[in-house]
């Protein structure tokens, strides 16, 4: 059952990240709403990554120093994403937004590599990678909108989920249920955001970002 929950959660992420055009919505209105929705979902994904790290830290799966390095990387990405959101909302041209997103993605790659070094448990590694995958997926959705290219495919999400399940098929450590609950909360929130209009999504992103900044500062003390 737990394996099916993980598959459903990750595949649901790829589906809900695709904010489909609404009936009667003009192409311009659709693009404007998608920018807001994907921005909000990116912040939620960052929150999920930080919360998963918290689960691993509380259960002694990752050392305190390693956890703080991850929180610092999360905070750096969040600060850059705040800039992306500001520029998107204010109508900056794509050339002023895409480089910031590319920098966040590069930092995520570095954070993923560094975080995995501190995780010897394969189940923890898989959960950590899933969390970062969620952030990367939503950021790539914003990139696709700005570059007018095809949005990320469900195939990659499905394959990521199945790979994680293969790693987790042998056992479920004590922290596993808590981690699954974090993933479920993250997906449910992103589903809620996929149904928002632009104004609601921008406001939600601002609120979650403020909460996450505060939580990160507390974790980094």
Per-residue pLDDT of 96-144, as tens digits, reads: 999 999 999 999 999 999 888 888 888 888 889 889 998 999 999 999 9
Name the nearest CA neighbour of 74 among 36, 47, 114, 105.
47
CB-based burial label for 10 (10 Å; 0-12, 13-18, 19+) = buried
Residue 151: burial class (beta carbons within 10 Å; 0-12, 13-18, 19+): middle
User: Which H or E run contains 97?
Assistant: none
Extract the residue ranges of the chain whose pLDDT is less than 50: 1-8, 14, 16, 169
Share of the chain above pLDDT 90, in %: 61
Closest listed residue to residue 127, CA positions, set 52, 72, 59:
52
- For the stretch 160-182, what's the b/e string if a residue is b when 16 or more beta carbons lie within 10 angstroms of its beta carbon? bbeebbeebeeeeeebbebbbeb
* Cα–Cα distance measured from residue 205 to residue 182, given in angstroms and rounded to the nearest whole number: 18
pTM of the model: 0.86
pLDDT at site 213:
98
Residue written as token pair 């290219």: 149
User: Under 8 Å CB-to-CB from 189, ≥6 apart: which residues?
Assistant: 44
* Cβ atoms of residues 131 and 179 within 8 Å: no
pLDDT at 4: 47
On whether the CB atoms of residues 140 and 42 are closer than 8 A, the answer is no
The per-residue pLDDT for 1 is: 44
Cα–Cα distances in angstroms (integers) from residue 140 to residues 147, 176, 216, in the given order: 10, 28, 24
């Amino acid at each position: 059952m737990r394996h099916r929950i993980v598959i459903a959660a990750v595949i649901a992420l790829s589906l809900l990240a695709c904010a489909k055009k609404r009936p009667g919505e003009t192409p311009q209105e659709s693009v404007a709403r998608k920018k807001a929705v994907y921005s909000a979902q990116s912040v939620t994904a960052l929150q999920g990554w930080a919360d998963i790290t918290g689960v691993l830290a509380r259960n002694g799966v990752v050392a305190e120093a390693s956890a703080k390095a991850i929180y610092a990387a999360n905070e750096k990405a969040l600060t850059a994403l705040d800039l992306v959101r500001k520029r998107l909302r204010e109508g900056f041209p794509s050339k002023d937004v895409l480089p910031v997103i590319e920098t966040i993605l590069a930092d995520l790659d570095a954070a993923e590599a560094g975080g995995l070094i501190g995780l010897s448990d394969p189940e923890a590694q898989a959960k950590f990678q899933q969390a970062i995958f969620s952030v990367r997926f939503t950021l790539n959705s914003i990139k696709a909108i700005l570059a007018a290219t095809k949005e990320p495919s469900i195939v990659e999400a499905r394959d990521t989920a199945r790979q994680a399940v293969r790693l987790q098929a042998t056992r479920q450590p004590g922290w596993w249920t808590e981690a699954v609950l974090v993933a479920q909360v993250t997906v449910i929130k992103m589903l809620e955001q996929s149904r928002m209009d632009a104004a609601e999504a921008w406001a939600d992103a601002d609120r979650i970002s403020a909460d996450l900044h505060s939580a990160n500062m507390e974790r980094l003390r």
